[in-house]
Amino acid sequence: MNKETILATLFILTLFCCKENNPINTGTTIKTNYLEVSQNILNFRSSPKVSSARDMLMFSDQGAWFAYGLPESKPNYGGFSGPFIMTQDNGAWISPNLAQLQINNIAKDKGLIDWGNDLVKQNSYASHLEQTFENKKLRVEQQLVFMSGHTAMQRTKITNISSNEITFNPSINGKLFELGITVSKENNTIKLVSSNSDAIGYIQVLGENHLELKNDHFFEIAVDPVTLVPNGTKEIVLSQTFIFPEYSWSKELKTISEISFDTLINDRKLEKEDELSKLIAKVKPEFNESKYRSLLTKAHLTLQNNWRIPAGEIKYQGLFPSYQYKGFHGFWSWDSWKHAAGLSYYNPQLAKDQMRAMFDFQKDDGFIVDCIYRDTTIEVHNYRDTKPPLAAWAVAKIYEKDLDTDFVKEIYPKLKKYHNWWYKKRDHDKDGLCEYGSTDGTLIAAKWESGMDNAIRFDNSKILRNDEGAYSLDQESVDLNSYLYAEKLYLSKLAIAIGASTEANKFKEDASKLKERIQSQFYSPEDRWFYDTNLEGTKFVKGAGSEGWTALWANTATLGQAEEIKTKMMDPEKFFTKVPFQTMAADHPKFNPLKGYWRGPNWLDQAYFGVKGLSNYKFENEANKAAKQILAGANGLLEKGEPIYENYHPLTGEGLNAKNFSWSAAHIIMLLTEKK
């Protein structure tokens, strides 16, 4: 294995042992009405048996590249599952429970807690994880909260609830999976060394303790004996830090040494309360029910779990599409535009950085790379294609929320360059209508550029050379040109915001001309649908798909065309299925949701474009009916514990492919909150 693939982090566990029997500072009571809605909204209970286990959901925060779960099996109680680190083979569990508490009775040398039988409750919130164990003698309460993008803090409070004095030996045990990381002892610390990485980990205890290595993958930290009188409490605070070489461990260690756990967890609760209140306050009246408020908290937490701080090649924070699928441990361009649009409702700064992350890789000619990764020894950036132009839409949504003209001034020239790139590199016949294509001349990369990788409209496509490193498909796409039309109007609005009125007017003029072209070339009066065409605009590439309603989303259709499109969209035999507005008509011979990634499943971004398109043309009853059926039909969306999936089977509602999918969550936010 490559030396960079194991652990591009420092790993430190720091255990703070406070004095026994002192009153515990419970902190100021805070009001968290919205935070309570997030209780157990996702099911984080998991006990990985192997390092490669990926099926479970994981809790993360503050952009950390590691995550945890609530253990579901007795051998792993006494701490939290994991961590799952995303710098190891694109995601691996380093341990079932790397910091597992043991409480042994000194006199009888046996455990005072029967972890399996004494579990009282396990809860998760957007702010933290918590669990409680209790028997007739002891109550053990544990909480885990992220201090930063590098460090998670874990507190254990052990309370004597008996009428007798109790003496016991607490210890922390850690057993690693076989990942090429070994444990050794150096002075008074546990040292973790990878055979394939220069990164080093340390486990460090403050106070009297005794370190023992069972073998090179198993350690024990024994704390001095504790005696508790009735109602006495022992508090243990533990920090777990994964820190990249470009960050300062000494600064992080100083912060940890000064932190008050009560202050930290209260701050985190208030942070999440504020974010959730911003979202829930924006719920549209027709969705003002508790089930939709719960869904918003699920979408919020889904985005949170995919949040990553800058690391390696990636210089700005942003979101994975999904940590659950190993191929999604990077940033994609049109995913980023959609993430940013959703994030703008409650975290504009993160939304801006998500945009910056991709534009940081913009080439001189305006090209935006398809996807980027932290470590290119694991996966390389994909320069073979870009993705559909929705960047200006995302920036306009961010600007609507906070009116930050400085950000617009920063990003506008880059947006304009990206917009112009399409006409320079993806207009084969120079007629003002663009095609999807690739930089390497491959047909597969050109299909990827659409974002709808294997859609049936590309089944018979061919690749054409435009210029050096610039190739187009032999068809002009209705969705691409509708996106470009919308982008012209968004660029016009942004230009006005920064005082560039001449450019704003030019974008409006160009948009007006393009609108007429879209209406005349891509609409089939016979089929009453928008299709791609050949380059000459004389032949439709038939097969009704979700690209057909992008003209409604972009407002490029005539009212009459929109009426006809609406009729087909609301037809149960075609698009108004159990989960409406899937990627192709249900009565098409090639419709295959289970084996056709973009040949039938419902992707919530495309469904959102459909709902928004109907709303744009004042078909409000249909738009609201469709939105509610989408959310009710997709299995588990309105249920506690169930994840948000990459896409859904439109006929059965089954969740398909990756769990914890960011753009699905982002578009749920827009469906529930966006003003008409």
Give the model's pLDDT for residue 579: 98
pLDDT tens across 324-355, in order? 998 999 999 999 999 999 999 999 999 999 99
**How far is residue 36's CA from residue 41's CA, in Å, rounded to a whole number?**
10
- Residue 181, pLDDT > 90, answer no
Give the model's pLDDT for residue 179: 87
Give the model's pLDDT for residue 209: 64
Give the model's pLDDT for residue 89: 76
Structure-block tokens of residue 462: 């061919």
Q: Could you give the 3-state DSSP secondary structure of residue 606?
A: helix
Among 10-14, 205-209, 356-360, 367-371, the minimum mean pLDDT is found in: 10-14
Question: The whole model's pTM is what?
Answer: 0.94
Average pLDDT over residues 217-245: 88
Give the model's pLDDT for residue 107: 66
Q: Which residue has the tokens 């192997």?
A: 50
> What value does the mean pLDDT of the chain take?
91
Go through 89-115 and write b for each residue having 16 or more CB atoms within 10 A of its CB, e for each that does not: bbbbbbbbbbbbbbbbeeeeeeebbeb
* CATH code assigned to 282-673: 1.50.10.10
Give the model's pLDDT for residue 523: 98
**How far is residue 328's CA from residue 332's CA, in Å, rounded to a whole number?**
9
- Residue 478, pLDDT > 70, answer yes
Average pLDDT over residues 633-651: 98
User: Within a 13 Å sphere around the CA of 433, how many CA atoms are in the beta-carbon half?
Assistant: 24
- Residue 221, pLDDT > 60, answer yes
**How far is residue 266's CA from residue 260's CA, in Å, rounded to a whole number?**
10
Instruction: Indicate the domain borders of the chain.
Output: 10-15+29-271, 282-673
Query: Which percentage of the chain shows pLDDT scores above 70?
Result: 92
Average pLDDT over residues 127-147: 97
SS3 sequence of 61-73: CCCCCEEEEECCC
Categorize the per-residue pLDDT at 109 as very low, low, confident or very high, splitting at 50, 70 and 90: low
Categorize the per-residue pLDDT at 212 as very low, low, confident or very high, splitting at 50, 70 and 90: confident
Categorize the per-residue pLDDT at 1 as very low, low, confident or very high, splitting at 50, 70 and 90: very low
Give the model's pLDDT for residue 184: 81
- Residue 452, pLDDT > 60, answer yes
Categorize the per-residue pLDDT at 242 as very low, low, confident or very high, splitting at 50, 70 and 90: confident
C-beta neighbour count of 156 within 10 angstroms? 22
Give the model's pLDDT for residue 26: 40
Give the model's pLDDT for residue 237: 86
Give the model's pLDDT for residue 68: 96
Give the model's pLDDT for residue 197: 54
Whether omega for the bond prior to residue 230 falls within 30 degrees of 0, making it cis, is no
CATH 3.30.70.20 is the classification of domain 10-15+29-271: no
pLDDT tens across 287-315, in order? 999 999 999 999 999 999 999 999 999 99
Average pLDDT over residues 22-40: 67
Among 6-10, 411-415, 448-452, the minimum mean pLDDT is found in: 6-10
pLDDT tens across 597-632, in order? 999 999 999 999 999 999 999 999 999 999 999 999
Give the model's pLDDT for residue 199: 53
Categorize the per-residue pLDDT at 188 as very low, low, confident or very high, splitting at 50, 70 and 90: low
Give the model's pLDDT for residue 2: 43
Go through 545-565 and write b for each residue having 16 or more CB atoms within 10 A of its CB, e for each that does not: bbbbbbbbbbbbbeeebbebb
Structure-block tokens of residue 355: 């945009």
pLDDT tens across 50-85, in order? 999 999 999 999 999 999 999 998 889 999 999 998
Average pLDDT over residues 580-584: 98
Average pLDDT over residues 408-435: 98
Give the model's pLDDT for residue 202: 72
Average pLDDT over residues 44-53: 94
